[in-house]
Amino acid sequence: MLIEQTPKAFRAFFPSAVWRLPKKEKTVYLTFDDGPVPEATPFVLDTLERYGIKATFFCVGDNVRKYPELFKRIIDAGHQVGNHTFNHLQGFMYSTGKYTKNVEKAGKYIKSSLFRPPHGQFRFRQLLKLRKKYKIVMWDVITRDYNNSLSGDFVLNIVKKYTRNGSIIVFHDSLKAEKNMKYALPKAIEFLIGEGYKFEALTSRSVEKKVELPAFKEELTNKAI
């Protein structure tokens, strides 16, 4: 559970990031990371179209550069997009300056105020800088479809076990996740429909957060990093 659904105590350390959205009606938010790529993204788009679902794609800037026609297809289908850095950088491994420059490079291709850090990794100072321009979107359920040691059924069962009202669910339209995602995604959608859930894409308005990081955390961050 520490992987599939991040504990509430951990989320409390990053209150300005969005992990889950409150909803009176049963609503979930499908998101897809790491694309677009021709091996996986068209399948996702075809599947979403078949079920009449709008989703959110957190795209890698270099993939958008290489496959602009796929990115255009995402936009033309009415889905939302978000920034996932230009080179899929892990925040812990880069300085704030290099990391934010990479995000801005991706921003030249991806016009969105939504941002999700690859691997969920970022330093406090990176978060403090990026949140001035972006709304940081994390997740409530991560399917682990990228893990080839897991089966498609295991991935599907993660969705079944952990999804709840307002869940932001992460699949990946990537080469690594292709096999598990193609198996689990349609079955997960059918399960969620059967459970009475509606699907919505994330928007700047829907992820608006009023809670900000306490000032003392910002002060500690500036001293520690």
Give pLDDT tens digits for 50-80: 999 999 999 999 999 999 999 999 999 999 9
Domain ranges of the chain: 18-224
88 annotated active-site: no
Q: Out of 79, 84, 145, 172, which one is annotated catalytic? A: 172
CA angle centred on 153, ends 148 and 157, rounded to 5°: 110
Contact of 82 with 36, CB cutoff 8 Å: no
Residue type, 183: Y
Nearest to 54 by CA among 34, 28, 35, 36: 28
Give pLDDT tens digits for 201-225: 999 888 874 333 333 343 333 333 3
The whole-number pLDDT of residue 12 equals: 75
Lowest mean pLDDT among 23-32, 45-54, 169-178: 23-32
This prediction's pTM? 0.89
Q: Out of 33, 34, 145, 173, which one is annotated catalytic? A: 33
Long-range Cβ contacts of 174-177 (<8 Å, 24+ apart): 174/33, 174/34, 174/35, 174/37, 174/40, 174/146, 175/37, 175/39, 175/40, 176/34, 176/146, 176/148, 177/34, 177/40, 177/145, 177/146
Q: Identify the CATH assignment for 18-224 out of 3.20.20.70, 3.40.1210.10, 3.20.20.370, 3.30.70.20.
A: 3.20.20.370
172 annotated active-site: yes
Give pLDDT tens digits for 122-176: 888 898 899 999 999 999 999 999 999 999 999 999 999 999 999 999 999 999 9
